[in-house]
Amino acid sequence: MSYKKGFTARIATTYDKNIGDLGAANQFNDIDLSSIVPAGAKAILIRGDMTSSTAREGAIFKQANQNGYALLAQCVVASQKLDFQGFVPCNSGRVISVYRDPTTVTGLSFAVIGWII
């Protein structure tokens, strides 16, 4: 489904990426979404969930090879699932970077639910 201003929605019936797909903890890891997101995309809308054994721990999503972050998902209550959604800028290769806390994030999954061209 396409909307004004170049937004395209995607119906995702399963998660596209799970914690095992996201690389090592305690560092930024590049996630290539070019098999899902078309060329020319400027930002990707993701929806996911996360659990952490400790409150105030979480994950950061950002454009690959850029400073700062675009989306911070942070568990408020230990061992309780957090649902999150937000736009993450991507580079021309449709790559984003994900960081997760080293020992406390026990579950992290997300799906691409849209993009902006």
What domains appear along the chain, each with residue ranges and CATH number?
A: 4-116 (2.60.120)
Q: 117 with 6: CB under 8 angstroms?
A: yes
| Mean pLDDT of the chain, nearest integer | 91
pLDDT band at 3 (very low <50, low <70, confident <90, very high): low
With b meaning 16 or more CB within 10 Å and e meaning fewer, what string describes 5-24? Answer: eeeeeeeeeebbbebeebee
Decide if pLDDT at 75 tops 80.
yes
Q: In what order do the strands lie in the sheet with 43-52?
A: 7-9, 105-116, 43-52, 82-89
What pTM was estimated for this model as a whole? 0.90
Phi/psi of residue 51, nearest 5 degrees = -130, 150
Distances in whole angstroms, Cα of residue 4 to Cα of each of 70, 75, 107: 22, 33, 35
* Residues 16-64 pLDDT 10s: 999 999 999 899 999 999 999 999 999 999 999 999 998 888 899 999 9
User: What is the pLDDT averaged over residues 7-19?
Assistant: 95
Residue 13 is predicted with a pLDDT of: 94
Please say whether the dihedral angle defined by the alpha carbons of residues 23, 101, 51 and 16, taken in this order, is positive or negative: negative
Residue 104 is predicted with a pLDDT of: 86
Residue 69 is predicted with a pLDDT of: 86
